[in-house]
A and B are shown apart, each in its own frame.
Chain A
Amino acid sequence: MGFDWSFFFDRLINPGDVYLLALGRTIAMAVLAMALGLLIGIVVGFGRLSRYKPIAWLCAFYVWLVRGIPVLVLLVFFFSGLAAAGFFRFSDITILGFTIGASFQAAVIALAIHEGAYMAEIVRNGIQAVARGQIEAAKSLGMGAWMVTRRIVLPQASRVIIPPLGNDFNHMLKTTSLASVIGVQEIFLLTESMSAATFKTFELLILVSINYLLLTTIWNIVQGIIETKLRAHELDTPVRGWGQSISYYLLARPGAEDRRA
């Protein structure tokens, strides 16, 4: 009984290659699912605002459907459900000597589809937040529809989209642990199998929690820097470029200077 401090510190300082590989999988899964989810979200978010009703309805249906199903169910559905019905079976792919496991692929797809539904709402909200007058001003300057979207709508919408997107990524980093049920060797599954072998369940769970905390904390800092850059227009001393954004975020007291004029 009791807490095995030496085991704990040993694992903390020297997690081992297997663990680092699992950590890499966790991060890769989160980043890939988020990127794919963002892509889906942009397409579906714009789709929901489409003039063509069938497209708008289809996109609304997707959002409604996916938001009503637990991620865990989606994960199992994509990995086992589709295969059981004979629709599609994920299999390992080897690219440049690097094998991407079937369960990893299924997890990325399922997580991306889940995330895409939430991103679609975030993107739609961001686009709708762009004031009509901004678009009219751009048009009156002779800008075409695509240029207005690219130069005015997307940059302004992104200011609204980035904060909730960052929060979603924070969630995503942790949600990847659910992929353990379909056998993706990420840090949570590894923790479970190690605790089955060593019975140091308590120590290992604390270690894995510290890992998730580390990931989300690093992400919070990155997100803060990105948001500082995007809020350049409302800071008393406008920041220019990434270097200034980093130093402003790290050195200035956030909250003291960022009120609106």
Chain B
Amino acid sequence: MSTSKPLVRAEKVDKWFGRHQVLKGVSLTVEKGEVVSIIGPSGSGKSTFLRCVNQLETYQEGRLYVGDQLIGYEEQNGRLVALNNRQIVAQRRHIGMVFQQFNLFWHMTVLENIVEAPIMVLGQSREQATAKAMELLARVGLAEKAHAYPMKLSGGQQQRAAIARALAMNPELMLFDEPTSALDPETTGEVLAVIGELAKTGMTMIIVTHEMGFARQVSDRIVLMEDGMIQHEGPPEAFFGEGQSPRLKAFLSTIH
């Protein structure tokens, strides 16, 4: 692992939904090029944490940095002052997110889905964006589906297209929120293969997943989240090898 500044640095992040505290002092660092998987029981705050990173949710306490940017706030005399919408949009630009439900824009073809943001947000020319999109589609094995509408694709194909769409923005960080949970077992493999390939390219990734085998194989580090807190973190060998903590044993036994 590199010794340069970490790409993601969460320091004691707290998040409430009304009176209900969902993140309780979450601290986590992710180095550039590192792949970190977050596992944990349902309702433990995994999605919420990812959504705080790209500001689909706001956290209330603590500090969350991506690169040298403090996410969502400006620090003024030790106090957090919320950024305006324009600043939030700018911070989100280089963080890609892949959702459990794919969320491809259904009124656009696969190709249109992918070139939309590069053209509208980054101001790329249509030719440039299309060339890049076709390259990405080839990479995820969907070149021949460029002109298909999402409704006509299988779940696995839709998710691979969604990954290509996020990559088209040249993200420095990719967030995956249970990317295969909505898929049947046959198509899960093809999506995991694409994510695995991406991991090898040195992309920094945080992956929330229930696929333990995959997490073990692809991750540099695994994080167990429970009740809004990080209960355990370490390299996969330590996670699945001997000498697990009782908590970890208990969780792993619930899913195997």
- Contacts A139-B56, A155-B107, A233-B151 given; does A147 touch B120 at CB 8 Å: yes
Interface string of B91-106 (1 = CB under 8 A from A): 0111111010101111
| Per-residue interface assignment for chain A, residues 127 to 157, with 1 indicating a CB less than 8 Å from any chain B CB and 0 otherwise | 0000101101111111111010001100110
Residues of B within 8 A of A51 (CB): none
- Which residues of chain B are near A134, meaning CB under 8 Å? 103, 105-106
**Is B54 part of the contact surface with A, judged by Cβ < 8 Å?**
yes
B97 in complex: contacting residue of A140, A147, A155, A159, CB < 8 Å = A140
In the assembled complex, how far is the CB of residue B124 from the closest CB belonging to chain A, in whole angstroms?
13
B151 touches A138 (CB 8 A): no
Asked whether A234 and B149 contact (CB < 8 A) given A140-B97, A151-B120, A159-B107, the answer is yes
Task: Pick the residue among A136, A145, A156, A260 that contacts B99 (CB under 8 A).
Answer: A136
**B151 to chain A: which residues have CB within 8 Å?**
233-234, 260-261
Contact yes or no, B149 A142, CB < 8 A: no
Complex CA–CA separation, A145 to B121 (angstroms): 12
Q: Which residues of B contact A147 (CB under 8 A)?
A: 120-121
Known contacts A234-B151, A238-B149, A261-B151; A141/B107 CB under 8 A: no
Which residue of A is nearest B147, CB measured?
A238
Question: Are B149 and A141 in touch, CB under 8 angstroms?
Answer: no
| A36 lies within 8 A of chain B by Cβ | no
Q: Kindly identify which residue among A137, A142, A159, A232 contacts B121, using a CB–CB cutoff of 8 Å.
A: A142
Bound complex: CA of A15 vs CA of B113, how far in Å?
A: 52
* Chain B residues numbered 139-189 whose CB sits less than 8 Å from any CB in chain A: 147-152, 162, 165-166, 169
- Whether A233 lies near B117 (C-beta < 8 A) is no
Would A141 and B56 be within 8 Å (CB), given that A133-B103, A232-B149, A261-B151 are in contact? no
Which B residues touch A159, using CB under 8 A? 107
CB of B238 closer than 8 Å to a CB of A: no
Question: Are B149 and A133 within 8 A (Cβ)?
Answer: no
Using A143-B89, A234-B151 as known contacts, say yes or no to A136 and B103 having CB atoms under 8 A apart.
yes
Whole-angstrom CA separation of A260 from B96 in the bound complex: 30
A156 touches which of B106, B148, B152, B162 (Cβ 8 Å): B106
Q: Does B34 contact A (CB under 8 A)?
A: no
B153, closest chain A residue (CB) = A261
Cβ contact within 8 Å between B103 and A137: yes
Binding site for B on A (CB under 8 A): 131, 133-134, 136-145, 147, 151-152, 155-156, 159, 232-234, 238, 260-261
* Extra 17 A-B pairs, beta carbons < 8 Å, given A136-B56, A137-B103, A142-B92: A133-B99, A133-B101, A134-B103, A137-B105, A137-B162, A139-B92, A140-B56, A140-B166, A141-B121, A142-B90, A143-B89, A144-B89, A156-B105, A232-B149, A233-B150, A238-B147, A261-B151
